[in-house]
Amino acid sequence: MMTGSERRTAIINQIKNSTVPVSGKALAAQYAVSRQVIVQDIALIRAAGHEIISTNRGYLLNEDASVQRTFKVKHTDAQVEEELYSIVDLGGSVKNVMVNHRVYGHMEAELNITSRRKAAEFLDDIKTGKSSPLKNITSDYHYHVVEADSEETLDMIEAALREKGFLLEQEEWEKKQYYV
């Protein structure tokens, strides 16, 4: 017997993976519950932050399809602009920067750089401030979670970073730690 939480997860996945609206009647039959239970499940799913659209033919999920990948990179301060532009020019969004310091441990800062303009603003903030890039405390080694619309876009970003000599291979422990 499936719990309500498990059923709601299954409903989200079913609606997400469907190319056509999924009817409440079909969901009720599939999960052996009443139509009213499905209506309540949809309300709870919406309350959890999923944008479910009700149509006369059924339910649709209105969420941007995006994928993420963690890249381990190394470059100089002078190459930060080239790195960021390489990512955003290919359709990526630099979500954060992370480092693993031997003394201070894991440190992370949100970036959300989605365009050349935002990259330029970030670079200007670094240049005019009294701070330096986080990568500087780990001899230039750092990580970025990059978000894009598809795996193909992430593959192009990875190839560009590799071609420029910025990309480093991750150790097995890094892959587990950063959920790559």
Which neighbouring-strand residues pair with 69? 146
Distance from C-alpha of 169 to C-alpha of 160, rounded to nearest angstrom: 14
Which neighbouring-strand residues pair with 152? none
Binding-site residues, in ranges, read 75, 83, 142, 144
Binding-site residues for Ni(2+), in ranges, read 75, 83, 142, 144
Is the Cα torsion angle 40, 43, 44, 50 positive or negative in sign? positive
- One-letter amino acid at 43 equals A
